[in-house]
Amino acid sequence: MDQTKRQPRKLGWRFALLAFVLAVVISGVIRSLWLDVYFIPSASMEPLFREGDRIVVSRTELQAEPIRRGDVVVFDGRGTFAPLNSGKGPVLDFLAGAGHWLGLAGSDSTYVKRVIGLPGDEVVCCDASGRLTVNGQPLAEPYLYAGDAPSEQRFSAAVPAGRLWLMGDHRSMSADSRSLLGAPGGGMVPLDRVVGRPVQIVWPLDRFTAVGRPAAAADTTTNGQ
């Protein structure tokens, strides 16, 4: 009688273990192929993302449509940004589960920034009106944090083939490509290091909203008027 009673318990533990393993595998496949969830630990991308936000990042968006100027991207900063520890928090930590596969393991080399310069662009700060220019044209930046200048640091950067010039929206709180001028790579991130594009804020619930894309690249510069 005792053995008969214990058998369902053993099966229950085995089922629970199998379910956990399957959850890990399925989560790993989803994260590697389609979607991932990240935690925003700083104010460097305000007002779009606030400290403490959780965001869903789509990997397939990059396959469907190429990166354009103004896009927000999550990328692996190893060899370019990392280790960039300025206290201005450009780093994202994985959120979605247990261990590295489910996201409890943090990453100190994953970042979120906005694409300002595409391959072949020349990005300069600043013109007589204090605006960034891209290829000689003033850049319209409606996403900037209120009260921030486009950049307090003056620079001129030619973006080489296959790389991106990236900046935060809260410029006074962002360590980005400007912080690495003169370093190997010049703070410009290879296109193949881009992980994906944020598509949704999922936490906190009062900020649950889709993350839209900017206008097409041809519309992101002003006509100088």
Active-site residues: which are they? 44, 113
Q: What is the CA radius of gyration of the chain?
A: 21
Handedness of CA 127, 85, 46, 109 (dihedral sign): positive
The answer to whether the bond into 119 is cis (omega within 30° of 0) is: no
Contact 108, 97 (CB under 8 A): no
Backbone torsions φ then ψ of 216, nearest 5 degrees: -55, 155
Nearest to 107 by CA among 28, 43, 39: 39
Those residues whose C-beta lies under 8 Å from the C-beta of residue 54, and which sit 6 or more positions away, are 37, 38, 39, 40, 95, 201, 202, 203
